[in-house]
Structure 1
Amino acid sequence: MDKTPSCKRRASPWVIALFIILLVVAGWYLLFPVLGLTLAVTAGVWGVIIATIVVLSIAILFFLVFSGVGVIILAVFAFLWGLLAIILFPIIFPVVVPLLIVLLFIGFLLRRKR
Protein backbone atom coordinates (compact mmCIF):
# COMPACT_ATOMS: atom_id res chain seq x y z
CA MET A 1 0.00 0.00 0.00
CA ASP A 2 0.94 3.50 -0.69
CA LYS A 3 1.81 5.68 2.37
CA THR A 4 1.20 9.08 0.79
CA PRO A 5 -0.95 11.44 2.84
CA SER A 6 -4.45 11.70 1.44
CA CYS A 7 -5.41 15.01 3.03
CA LYS A 8 -5.12 18.05 0.82
CA ARG A 9 -4.38 21.46 2.31
CA ARG A 10 -6.70 24.28 1.40
CA ALA A 11 -5.51 27.83 1.29
CA SER A 12 -6.59 29.67 4.40
CA PRO A 13 -8.77 32.77 4.04
CA TRP A 14 -5.87 34.93 5.26
CA VAL A 15 -3.63 33.74 2.44
CA ILE A 16 -6.38 34.42 -0.07
CA ALA A 17 -6.96 37.90 1.42
CA LEU A 18 -3.26 38.75 1.28
CA PHE A 19 -3.05 37.55 -2.32
CA ILE A 20 -6.06 39.68 -3.32
CA ILE A 21 -4.56 42.71 -1.56
CA LEU A 22 -1.25 42.20 -3.33
CA LEU A 23 -2.91 41.87 -6.75
CA VAL A 24 -5.12 44.92 -6.31
CA VAL A 25 -2.37 47.20 -5.01
CA ALA A 26 0.17 46.03 -7.59
CA GLY A 27 -2.39 46.41 -10.37
CA TRP A 28 -3.21 49.93 -9.21
CA TYR A 29 0.43 50.98 -9.18
CA LEU A 30 1.00 49.47 -12.63
CA LEU A 31 -2.17 50.96 -14.13
CA PHE A 32 -1.78 54.45 -12.65
CA PRO A 33 1.22 55.61 -14.76
CA VAL A 34 -0.13 53.91 -17.89
CA LEU A 35 -3.22 56.10 -17.79
CA GLY A 36 -1.04 59.20 -17.46
CA LEU A 37 -2.70 60.42 -14.30
CA THR A 38 -1.11 63.12 -12.19
CA LEU A 39 -1.81 63.86 -8.57
CA ALA A 40 -2.47 67.07 -6.70
CA VAL A 41 -3.18 66.26 -3.08
CA THR A 42 -4.49 68.99 -0.79
CA ALA A 43 -5.07 69.12 2.95
CA GLY A 44 -8.73 68.19 2.47
CA VAL A 45 -7.82 64.97 0.72
CA TRP A 46 -5.38 64.09 3.51
CA GLY A 47 -8.20 64.63 6.02
CA VAL A 48 -10.45 62.23 4.12
CA ILE A 49 -7.63 59.68 3.87
CA ILE A 50 -6.94 59.77 7.59
CA ALA A 51 -10.64 59.69 8.51
CA THR A 52 -11.24 56.71 6.21
CA ILE A 53 -8.36 54.73 7.68
CA VAL A 54 -9.48 55.53 11.24
CA VAL A 55 -13.12 54.55 10.61
CA LEU A 56 -12.16 51.28 8.92
CA SER A 57 -9.64 50.41 11.63
CA ILE A 58 -12.20 51.05 14.37
CA ALA A 59 -14.73 48.86 12.54
CA ILE A 60 -12.17 46.05 12.25
CA LEU A 61 -11.33 46.37 15.95
CA PHE A 62 -15.01 46.29 16.94
CA PHE A 63 -15.54 43.24 14.75
CA LEU A 64 -12.88 41.40 16.72
CA VAL A 65 -13.87 42.60 20.21
CA PHE A 66 -17.64 42.97 20.26
CA SER A 67 -20.58 41.23 18.66
CA GLY A 68 -24.07 42.39 17.85
CA VAL A 69 -26.12 44.48 15.49
CA GLY A 70 -24.35 47.75 16.32
CA VAL A 71 -21.02 46.39 15.16
CA ILE A 72 -22.53 45.17 11.91
CA ILE A 73 -24.12 48.59 11.32
CA LEU A 74 -20.78 50.29 12.01
CA ALA A 75 -19.02 47.86 9.65
CA VAL A 76 -21.54 48.55 6.87
CA PHE A 77 -21.11 52.30 7.44
CA ALA A 78 -17.31 51.95 7.34
CA PHE A 79 -17.50 49.85 4.16
CA LEU A 80 -19.73 52.40 2.42
CA TRP A 81 -17.52 55.26 3.65
CA GLY A 82 -14.48 53.49 2.20
CA LEU A 83 -16.17 52.94 -1.16
CA LEU A 84 -17.29 56.56 -1.32
CA ALA A 85 -13.79 57.75 -0.45
CA ILE A 86 -12.31 55.57 -3.19
CA ILE A 87 -14.79 56.95 -5.73
CA LEU A 88 -14.20 60.57 -4.74
CA PHE A 89 -10.43 60.34 -4.19
CA PRO A 90 -8.85 57.53 -6.27
CA ILE A 91 -5.42 58.26 -4.78
CA ILE A 92 -6.39 56.45 -1.56
CA PHE A 93 -7.33 53.25 -3.39
CA PRO A 94 -4.15 51.32 -2.46
CA VAL A 95 -4.51 52.37 1.17
CA VAL A 96 -8.19 51.67 1.72
CA VAL A 97 -8.70 48.48 -0.30
CA PRO A 98 -6.53 46.30 1.98
CA LEU A 99 -8.53 47.53 4.98
CA LEU A 100 -11.82 46.79 3.22
CA ILE A 101 -10.65 43.28 2.30
CA VAL A 102 -9.53 42.60 5.89
CA LEU A 103 -12.91 43.88 7.14
CA LEU A 104 -14.79 41.55 4.78
CA PHE A 105 -12.67 38.51 5.68
CA ILE A 106 -13.06 39.12 9.43
CA GLY A 107 -16.81 39.33 8.94
CA PHE A 108 -16.74 36.13 6.88
CA LEU A 109 -14.68 34.27 9.47
CA LEU A 110 -16.84 35.43 12.38
CA ARG A 111 -20.01 34.43 10.55
CA ARG A 112 -18.49 31.01 9.80
CA LYS A 113 -17.68 30.44 13.49
CA ARG A 114 -21.32 30.86 14.52
Structure 2
Amino acid sequence: AVGFQVALGASMCNARSFACMKHVGLNVAADAFMTATYAGAHGGFVVLSADDPNCYSSQNEQDNRYYGLHSLCPIFEAINIQEAKDVIKYAFDFSEEFQSLVMMRC
Protein backbone atom coordinates (compact mmCIF):
# COMPACT_ATOMS: atom_id res chain seq x y z
CA ALA A 1 0.00 0.00 0.00
CA VAL A 2 2.86 2.38 0.78
CA GLY A 3 4.49 1.74 -2.60
CA PHE A 4 1.19 2.46 -4.33
CA GLN A 5 0.80 5.73 -2.44
CA VAL A 6 4.36 6.83 -3.23
CA ALA A 7 3.77 6.10 -6.93
CA LEU A 8 0.49 8.02 -6.81
CA GLY A 9 2.23 11.00 -5.23
CA ALA A 10 4.89 10.95 -7.95
CA SER A 11 2.19 10.86 -10.61
CA MET A 12 0.42 13.83 -9.06
CA CYS A 13 3.73 15.71 -9.42
CA ASN A 14 3.81 14.98 -13.18
CA ALA A 15 6.25 12.07 -13.04
CA ARG A 16 5.52 8.76 -14.70
CA SER A 17 5.02 6.12 -12.03
CA PHE A 18 4.48 2.39 -11.88
CA ALA A 19 3.24 0.18 -9.05
CA CYS A 20 3.50 -3.59 -9.26
CA MET A 21 1.72 -6.00 -6.93
CA LYS A 22 0.01 -9.34 -6.88
CA HIS A 23 -3.73 -9.65 -6.43
CA VAL A 24 -3.79 -9.70 -2.63
CA GLY A 25 -1.46 -6.67 -2.60
CA LEU A 26 -4.17 -4.72 -4.39
CA ASN A 27 -6.54 -5.72 -1.60
CA VAL A 28 -4.20 -4.01 0.86
CA ALA A 29 -3.97 -0.93 -1.36
CA ALA A 30 -7.69 -0.94 -2.22
CA ASP A 31 -8.56 2.22 -0.30
CA ALA A 32 -5.81 4.21 -1.99
CA PHE A 33 -6.60 2.61 -5.37
CA MET A 34 -10.28 3.56 -5.26
CA THR A 35 -9.43 7.11 -4.22
CA ALA A 36 -6.74 7.43 -6.90
CA THR A 37 -9.14 6.56 -9.71
CA TYR A 38 -11.24 9.60 -8.82
CA ALA A 39 -8.34 11.93 -7.97
CA GLY A 40 -6.63 11.29 -11.29
CA ALA A 41 -3.01 10.91 -12.33
CA HIS A 42 -1.18 13.75 -14.05
CA GLY A 43 2.16 12.19 -14.95
CA GLY A 44 0.98 8.79 -16.06
CA PHE A 45 0.34 6.03 -13.54
CA VAL A 46 0.20 2.34 -14.38
CA VAL A 47 -0.61 -0.34 -11.81
CA LEU A 48 0.44 -3.88 -12.71
CA SER A 49 -1.71 -6.50 -11.04
CA ALA A 50 -0.60 -10.13 -11.12
CA ASP A 51 -3.95 -11.87 -10.73
CA ASP A 52 -4.74 -15.52 -10.18
CA PRO A 53 -8.40 -15.94 -11.20
CA ASN A 54 -8.23 -19.74 -11.16
CA CYS A 55 -6.09 -20.19 -8.03
CA TYR A 56 -3.25 -21.89 -9.89
CA SER A 57 -0.30 -20.52 -7.94
CA SER A 58 -1.45 -18.55 -4.91
CA GLN A 59 -3.38 -18.82 -1.67
CA ASN A 60 -6.64 -17.44 -3.02
CA GLU A 61 -8.64 -17.05 -6.20
CA GLN A 62 -9.14 -13.44 -7.24
CA ASP A 63 -9.82 -11.49 -10.41
CA ASN A 64 -8.95 -7.80 -10.06
CA ARG A 65 -10.93 -6.79 -13.14
CA TYR A 66 -13.76 -6.23 -10.68
CA TYR A 67 -11.72 -3.50 -9.00
CA GLY A 68 -11.43 -1.79 -12.37
CA LEU A 69 -15.12 -2.20 -13.08
CA HIS A 70 -16.11 -0.85 -9.68
CA SER A 71 -13.74 2.13 -9.79
CA LEU A 72 -14.13 2.92 -13.52
CA CYS A 73 -10.41 2.33 -14.05
CA PRO A 74 -9.30 1.33 -17.57
CA ILE A 75 -7.72 -2.13 -17.67
CA PHE A 76 -5.26 -3.41 -20.25
CA GLU A 77 -4.20 -7.02 -20.76
CA ALA A 78 -1.50 -8.62 -22.85
CA ILE A 79 -1.43 -12.12 -24.29
CA ASN A 80 2.34 -12.45 -24.73
CA ILE A 81 5.61 -10.79 -23.72
CA GLN A 82 5.93 -8.57 -26.80
CA GLU A 83 2.38 -7.33 -26.42
CA ALA A 84 3.02 -6.63 -22.73
CA LYS A 85 5.94 -4.38 -23.68
CA ASP A 86 3.82 -2.55 -26.25
CA VAL A 87 0.80 -2.27 -23.96
CA ILE A 88 2.85 -0.78 -21.11
CA LYS A 89 4.01 2.03 -23.42
CA TYR A 90 0.46 2.61 -24.62
CA ALA A 91 -0.90 2.49 -21.04
CA PHE A 92 1.44 5.30 -19.96
CA ASP A 93 0.44 7.42 -22.97
CA PHE A 94 -3.24 6.71 -22.28
CA SER A 95 -2.86 7.58 -18.60
CA GLU A 96 -1.15 10.87 -19.40
CA GLU A 97 -3.63 11.86 -22.09
CA PHE A 98 -6.71 11.17 -19.97
CA GLN A 99 -5.06 11.94 -16.59
CA SER A 100 -6.29 8.62 -15.29
CA LEU A 101 -4.85 5.73 -13.37
CA VAL A 102 -4.56 2.63 -15.58
CA MET A 103 -4.39 -1.01 -14.49
CA MET A 104 -2.57 -3.69 -16.43
CA ARG A 105 -3.20 -7.35 -15.66
CA CYS A 106 -0.79 -10.19 -16.17
TM-score normalised to the size of structure 1?
0.36
CA radius of gyration, larger in:
1
Higher relative contact order (CA 8 A, sep 6+): 1
